[in-house]
Amino acid sequence: MVRRRGQGWYGRMLAAAVGVTAVAAATSVWTAQAGPVERPQTHAGASAPSSSAPGTHSQSRAGAPVSAVIAHASDQGARGVNITIDDGPDPVWTPQVLQVLRDNGVKATFCMVGTQARAHPDLVKAVVAAGHRLCDHTVSHDTTMDKKPEAYQAQEILNAERMITKASGGVRPMYYRAPGGAFTPYSRQLAASHGMRPLGWNVDSKDFERPGTSAVVATVQHEIANGPTVLFHDAGGDRSQTEAALREVLPWLKQQGYSFGFPVH
């Protein structure tokens, strides 16, 4: 089961986001009612919605179709691994995570919280300059947003997209990851209509809970057979265990014959 993390430190970001203007135009485009909570795959054999279902593709900004189905696969195929880094950027930990990735020649996808991106545009630009991809992780990281009105979901997703794009100097996020996996059919379609593929995960490293570096490493080693997309964090508190675990996990994955790529888009 995918856990929902408590909002904790995100409460401060939520307070900072109060007063952000809702994007009313976007809410008028999509009228589908939010359905049951949708969770990313977290174990082998879990199935995502069929990509052939009606209404699961939308046009990207460039005119190419972007699926609204939650992505898990790697563009590197069966032996590919997608490293994803959530909740930053953080002025202490993001530079250290970037250094580990650089040392190992690995590209990752950074799922950024809008208020964090706005506060640290230099780090957003550093992520882009290093060849990593951006992902929209909402304005305030509200893990209950799937229970909120569509207008609120649109505000969280589209205002974060704008914040991240501005902070990056014009590079837009390619993916949307719902906080805690709180996707809805509406939020998936809305993200896809803006060229952002909904992004799940297969392996939760549990680094957010700080169980110890060896425990984080063991979780990834044990669960990597479940699928290619691995979840880590570069914000939300002390991420020294994340940094240390990445220094062990990345070389180990290479030794096992895995290559690193990006989630399918």
Coil, helix or strand at residue 151: helix
Which of the following is catalytic: 72, 86, 136, 234?
86
171 token code pair: 């590079």
Which of the following is catalytic: 120, 141, 233, 234?
233
Walk me through the domains of the chain, giving residue ranges and CATH numbers. Answer: 58-72+79-261 (3.20.20.370)
The pLDDT value recorded for residue 65 is 83
Distance CA(89)–CA(124), nearest Å, equals: 7
Across 58-67, 152-161, 249-258, least confident range = 58-67
pLDDT band at 49 (very low <50, low <70, confident <90, very high): very low
How confident is the model over 202-210, as a mean pLDDT?
97
Distance CA(246)–CA(106), nearest Å, equals: 11
Can 233 be counted among the known catalytic residues?
A: yes
Predicted TM-score (pTM) of the model is 0.80
Can 120 be counted among the known catalytic residues?
A: no
